[in-house]
Structure 1
């Protein structure tokens, strides 16, 4: 029996035997989990990095392969972008793109690349740092305000910050620029900055932050006096959002919404207003998590990954009381970056599906979810062999993708042969 099938059947038998973990599915009722089809063929067939680890419930990894029936085409709208990190469609059909070295540009619907937008603060582009995500204000149509995250150079190192500014009508400059939030502590490193920004229906900014990777700072993902390895919930002025779970708790930073994360470069709200993140694991153990207020998602105490050296994560387990289980995990990893729940009319077949960019495996992942569980997985655009950094849905129902390369590209995925 091959190893992937063995793991899959073991998971099914485990679930059938009634074994469960109290926090295994982020408080969803396990009895409501969709049944796995008898003819399921897991899409992932490679050997796992950590084959001795077993999923906590059936369908937590190696989901059934699915295939898009509708025809689609991929148009290369623009080339020559330097390490593009985020794409944000604007209401008029143009696209706002960030480039890691510290530039923003407007790309027209036909693919004309504009000059760098003036007014962007200096970034620290070393390693994984630089200009990161960008998000439109919920009132962008009336105030033209945008928010962006970036690794900010500081005395003694750097850390992720959030800035706000007003985009000019011609898309060439930013005014009223201010840094509204600075994650702490400052650290002299070049990895795991996060960072995606997403607006909830409450009008608050949900910000994802990495734990900066290095072994000496990694434990701060579990420490409440640090922003590292956390999801934060802040106002558009950068203040702690009312109703945050640890506000007023001694020794806890009031911006914290959830903890125990590693390096989240993908986040999205679904149609019901649930917040989801895709966290980069180490070697093995990329995680899809449905985020709940005040919960602990485990890193580095609970993980399905291992060190890049192949050694276990020190003192870690795959499940522990009081820590949330991922809804889904990948082993081997895809290195997720960028996420979008599809809600458009261009592809009815994709409605409610989650799209996730893959850096390591150079593909676009499509996940089908039912009752809070993953029931199918498809890998798109593998033939293009490009690291996909971000994916977003435009007002036209098309998906827009940027690739992570020195000569990065902007793609449009729309109906067609």
Structure 2
């Protein structure tokens, strides 16, 4: 997937316009309780504007497990694929596979080329960041790598290799590899990692597995103000929070400074959490025999400092993944809503939150419900459109563009 041109132009095919007149709540599949939809604090959901119908277009097809997407200030879209490869879609619709050295990629199971984000100063420094499995020197780990891309969108070059290393990986299966990267409002780079299905990792602050990291994007060291800045262990100094199972999504709420993380759970719960510096998110699967006990709660509130979830799926789980907030003119009742990709129940989950970040209402986006298969990542683009990657495999995956109608 290196070098070449996928196609000379990508047709924008209108694949769904549903004039649903959706009112904003509804039953979740699998018999799950629609938590928050019937108990609306302060009438917030009842007074929300109606939801507009959405137009869904295919921007790029023929992808295989696309994991993340970013949009540059010039409108170019960049998408990566878990098995390796970076593809740019230029503003005129031309799709171009970037020449990028991914020869050391470790791609197995849930691990591979995963999170992707652009530097806030990308227009000036052309810098981007990936989180990926790496095989080198006879060992395997997960690394955050910094790259620059040329102005013509033909080549990505490693410039910090790695920026952050020594993130453990499950070498046998690739299970619970994380790994989402996003920028906090203060410019720190946030990295959500998985626990690698090792029971001791989430509660062990001496490992980077099962954590949210907060790092300086220039150096890879601890960002100023980290909650464990004075800890003697340099690993612990990188942490924002711990006690996580598998952080698949990070979303920053516009204008608030709030950061939300999304985790995939066992059969008990998937979760959306409001980030608290130094918080323990309560996962402790370290069995008495040293095994991985998945029967424990996703958040054990008996653990010191345990932070309760903002939203949890209950049983059965729906396999939550990437997330982003929708905002801007024309989005009507979606304005300010957190959208979460759903892999198991195939769609987009919408969460309406109050100013404190607590759940007001949840519902599903009708235009994507059971239509495009597994949804991994929603991202609000710089152009105000929502971009979504599917994750069905077999070379049949899509990059979608979604806009409100009217």
TM-score normalised over the length of structure 1:
0.79
CA deviation profile, 1:195-227 (whole Å, cap 9, x unmatched): 1111112211010000002xxx22211011111
Q: Contact (CA 8 Å) 2:283, 2:299: kept in 1 or not?
A: no
Q: Contact (CA 8 Å) 2:221, 2:238: kept in 1 or not?
A: yes
Look up the SS of the partner of 2:123 in the other structure.
Answer: helix
Q: Find the partner of 1:375 among 341, 346, 360.
A: 360
Structure 1 residue 117: Cα displacement: 3.1
Q: Contact (CA 8 Å) 1:43, 1:377: kept in 2 or not?
A: no
CA deviation profile, 1:385-408 (whole Å, cap 9, x unmatched): 411111111122110001112321
Q: Find the partner of 1:221 among 193, 202, 209.
A: 202
Structure 1 residue 119: Cα displacement: 3.5
| Separation (CA, whole Å) in 1 of partners of 2:323 and 2:203 | 25
- Structure 1 residues 79 and 290: CA distance shift in structure 2, 3 A: same
Q: Residue 43 in 1 paired to residue 27 in 2?
A: yes
Q: Find the partner of 2:104 among 114, 122, 127.
A: 122
Q: Residue 359 in 1 paired to residue 348 in 2?
A: no
Q: Contact (CA 8 Å) 1:156, 1:188: kept in 2 or not?
A: no
Look up the SS of the partner of 1:219 in the other structure.
Answer: coil
Q: Find the partner of 1:86 among 46, 65, 68.
A: 68
Q: Contact (CA 8 Å) 1:248, 1:254: kept in 2 or not?
A: yes
Structure 1 residue 100: Cα displacement: 0.8
Q: Residue 270 in 1 paired to residue 262 in 2?
A: no
Alignment: residue pair count: 362
Provide the residue aligned with 1:338 in structure 2: 322
Structure 1 residue 289: Cα displacement: 0.4
Provide the residue aligned with 1:299 in structure 2: 283
Q: Residue 163 in 1 paired to residue 145 in 2?
A: yes
CA RMSD across the alignment: 3.1
CA deviation profile, 1:142-173 (whole Å, cap 9, x unmatched): 11111111011245652221111111011110
| Separation (CA, whole Å) in 2 of partners of 1:273 and 1:218 | 32
Q: Contact (CA 8 Å) 2:87, 2:95: kept in 1 or not?
A: yes
Q: Contact (CA 8 Å) 1:81, 1:409: kept in 2 or not?
A: yes
Provide the residue aligned with 2:403 in structure 1: 414
Q: Contact (CA 8 Å) 2:29, 2:345: kept in 1 or not?
A: no
Look up the SS of the partner of 1:141 in the other structure.
Answer: helix
Q: Find the partner of 1:389 among 359, 373, 376.
A: 376
- Structure 1 residues 201 and 121: CA distance shift in structure 2, 3 A: farther
| Separation (CA, whole Å) in 2 of partners of 1:312 and 1:133 | 25
What is the 5 A alignment of 1:124-273?
124-155=106-137, 157-179=139-161, 180-185=163-168, 187-189=170-172, 190-213=174-197, 217-236=198-217, 237-251=219-233, 253-271=236-254, 272-273=256-257
Q: Contact (CA 8 Å) 2:69, 2:77: kept in 1 or not?
A: yes
Q: Contact (CA 8 Å) 1:102, 1:122: kept in 2 or not?
A: no
CA deviation profile, 1:261-288 (whole Å, cap 9, x unmatched): 0011111111201110011111131011
- Structure 1 residues 186 and 354: CA distance shift in structure 2, 3 A: closer
Q: Contact (CA 8 Å) 1:346, 1:397: kept in 2 or not?
A: no
Look up the SS of the partner of 2:202 in the other structure.
Answer: helix
| Separation (CA, whole Å) in 2 of partners of 1:137 and 1:385 | 30
Provide the residue aligned with 1:286 in structure 2: 270
Larger mean Cα displacement after TM superposition, 246-255 or 79-88: 246-255
Q: Contact (CA 8 Å) 1:359, 1:389: kept in 2 or not?
A: yes
What is the 5 A alignment of 1:306-325?
313-314=295-296, 318-320=300-302, 322-325=305-308
Q: Contact (CA 8 Å) 1:148, 1:164: kept in 2 or not?
A: yes
| Separation (CA, whole Å) in 1 of partners of 2:361 and 2:298 | 29
Q: Contact (CA 8 Å) 1:78, 1:112: kept in 2 or not?
A: no
CA deviation profile, 1:250-269 (whole Å, cap 9, x unmatched): 45621111000001111111
Long gaps (5+) in structure 2: 1-23
TM-score normalised over the length of structure 2:
0.81
| Separation (CA, whole Å) in 2 of partners of 1:301 and 1:125 | 25
Long gaps (5+) in structure 1: 1-39
Q: Residue 98 in 1 paired to residue 70 in 2?
A: no
